[in-house]
Chains A and B, each alone.
Chain A
Amino acid sequence: MRKQKIVSIVLGIFVVASAAALAVYAKPKPKLNSMRPRSIDASPKVEITATTSTPATYTLMQVAAHKDASSCWTTINGAVYDVTPWISAHPGGASAILSLCGTDGSVAFNEQHGGKSRPANELAAYKIGALK
């Protein structure tokens, strides 16, 4: 009986400690398909194809140039967003948005807010074009 109690304590603590260690130290790897830049060429072609009459399109290189709080662009699910004003307004803190500046934020956004209408509607307000 005493042995069973010792086993239960050891087993319980081991399971909790293992799961907690996984949560703290084993960060999920980004999905390569959605994180990999889609249109980075060896030659730096920085041409803005935005016009006033058609939806603007941007390359990932152009988005990558806006990588800090002064001008923060991100791409999510094929669209490009200028989320600079949202950095200080994001309920989840500025760091969550700053980490997306200049990169493809699809994975981060979908994992955090995927399927929810409110974040999608808030995001839509910052759309400036599509990813080329």
Chain B
Amino acid sequence: MNHKKYAPVVLRLGMCAVVAWFGASQLSNPNMWFGVVPAWALEFSHLSAQTIIRLNGWFEIIAALALGVGVFTRWVALALSAHLFVIALGFGLSAVGVRDFGLTFGLLAVAMFGADCLCFEDVAPPLAV
């Protein structure tokens, strides 16, 4: 069995599970997430914290589905990576921030690899260097 072939699949599905968990948690229990909505997001969007959490939750669920099934893999992973990077910056050098930085780079790796052998879309060609 070629384990190497499945390494990006494991990474992609692992990241998908994490994003799906966070998305579902925000939709099912938004109260738990009020404390992490940054002030700039409230000022910039003029939305309530609850609305921001719900929108973010739906974004993460849809992105996790796309990542899990393997459609627009590269772009979805890149968007999630940027999304997590902004969140990680907000937390700074705390345990949560450092964890999110790790997840950011995991998603960046998925984006760099593109579609793998178990994606719905065809296997991506390697990025031109």
Which residues on A are within 8 Å of B, measured CB to CB?
A: 4-5, 7-9, 11-13, 15-16, 18-24, 91-93, 95-96, 112-113, 115-116, 119
> Whole-angstrom distance between the alpha carbons of A21 and B18 in the complex?
12
> Whole-angstrom distance between the alpha carbons of A116 and B39 in the complex?
14
Give me 29 A-to-B residue pairs in the complex whose CB atoms sit less than 8 angstroms apart, sorted by A's number.
Answer: A7-B118, A8-B69, A11-B118, A12-B65, A12-B68, A13-B68, A15-B17, A15-B20, A15-B68, A16-B17, A16-B65, A16-B68, A18-B17, A19-B16, A19-B18, A21-B24, A22-B21, A23-B25, A24-B24, A24-B25, A92-B49, A93-B31, A95-B31, A96-B31, A96-B32, A115-B94, A116-B35, A116-B94, A119-B35
Q: Which residues of B contact A8 (CB under 8 A)?
A: 69-70, 118-120
Does A9 lie within 8 Å of B120, measured CB to CB?
yes
Chain A interface SS verdict (over half): helix
Q: Which residues of A contact B95 (CB under 8 A)?
A: 115
